[in-house]
Amino acid sequence: MRRKASLILLACAVFCAALSPMLRWYAFPRLAKVPANQYQDMVLEAKDATLLDYGTMKARKVSKVTIVQTLKGDVAASEKIERTAGRDVVVWDGLSYVVGPDGEMVSSIPERYIFDAHTQEPVHATGESVDGDPVRREGIEFKWPFLTEKRSYEYFDAQTRTSAPIHYEGTQDFRGVEVYYFEQTIPWTEVPYPEKLPVEGITPESLADTGTTRWYTTVRKFWVEPLTGAPVYGEEIHREELRGGTLLGDRDKVTAFAGHVKMREDYIEHTVDLVKSNRTLVLLMTSHLPWGFLGLGLVLLALALWLEARGRHPDDPAPSEAAAPEPANA
């Protein structure tokens, strides 16, 4: 009976020991993915910013500029691309909507971002675009990969339509969450005008006809939770200028926008809580369950060996030989 029990325990120990690496290296990469139907929004603000008045073509100080960013998953488009791509795909329709202190639109820039649900690598398919312009992304945008590493990544910049390194600058604590800090600097670069402009009758084409060009630079900062790859906080020190041409008269350039863009406090709290919750799920798959099954396997193995040893060396003493009968007296 003990021999049978020890064999069962040994089989369970082998199963647990095999399950431990399978959870970490086989199951997790296949189960961890961005859902195709995800929807999220984010509000950022630049207080005491500089903004161009297109009516007078002069820069003015304003109390606040608000940027509303939304990302909405297109499930039908994801499924269509998956049939030819052969992998799980997410299609995000993004919108960056900028409003001035009076609530009037400053710009509205849509994006379509197509990427691998597991690795966050871009998937090139019809519809990949920024503000109506077809693009071919390289690197990441919006989200880092699961299990983010301490290294630089290529990060796509929607204004320039190009990718550039975003550098790991160290590990920090952000409101009780260990995060990796990344920073990217985009030097002054000529960029297209937005398709939607705040003044009726002014179009990108009419501005281009004046010879006036639009330039942009930014310092982009992200604090990323490494297990989920989700940014818990982000900032940009953002500047835009109009340069040259007849539109500016005798001026060489004028500031179109300048401000330190930061996430609004209520969205910071919501994002940190959400990332903490998702972080627990990732830890379960990458650490708690694999190590737990490995520990359980070792315990079962030790118990099986103990039962086997007990079966070979029982506690009860071996029976002694029968005593010889005493001789009978006459």
How far, in Å, CA of 277 to CA of 244, rounded?
A: 51
- Residue 86 in domain: yes
- Residue 118 in domain: yes
Q: Which residue has the tokens 């994801």?
A: 78
Residues β-bridged to residue 121: none
- 289 and 218 in a common domain: no
User: What is the mean pLDDT of each successive set of 10 residues along the chain, which is 330 residues long?
Assistant: 71 81 82 92 95 87 95 95 92 95 91 95 94 95 95 96 97 96 97 88 85 95 96 96 88 94 95 92 84 81 76 56 51
The pLDDT value given to residue 17: 82
Whether residue 9 contacts residue 303, with contact meaning beta carbons closer than 8 Å, is answered with: yes
Helix (H) or strand (E) holding 280: helix 265-283
pLDDT digits (tens, 9 = 90+) for 144-181: 999 999 999 999 999 999 999 999 999 999 999 999 99
3-class DSSP state for residue 194? coil
The pLDDT value given to residue 235: 96
pTM of the full structure: 0.86
The pLDDT value given to residue 98: 94
How far, in Å, CA of 7 to CA of 15, rounded?
A: 12
- 65 and 187 in a common domain: yes
- 75 and 8 in a common domain: no
- Structural domain boundaries enclosing 141: 32-263
- 72 and 157 in a common domain: yes
The structural domain count of the chain equals: 2
The pLDDT value given to residue 325: 55
- Residue 320 in domain: no
- 223 and 76 in a common domain: yes
Whether residue 160 contacts residue 240, with contact meaning beta carbons closer than 8 Å, is answered with: no
Helix (H) or strand (E) holding 133: strand 133-134
The pLDDT value given to residue 307: 74
- 7 and 136 in a common domain: no
- 44 and 11 in a common domain: no
The pLDDT value given to residue 322: 46
Taking each helix axis from N to C end, the angle separating 2-22 and 289-312, rounded to the nearest 10 degrees, works out to 160
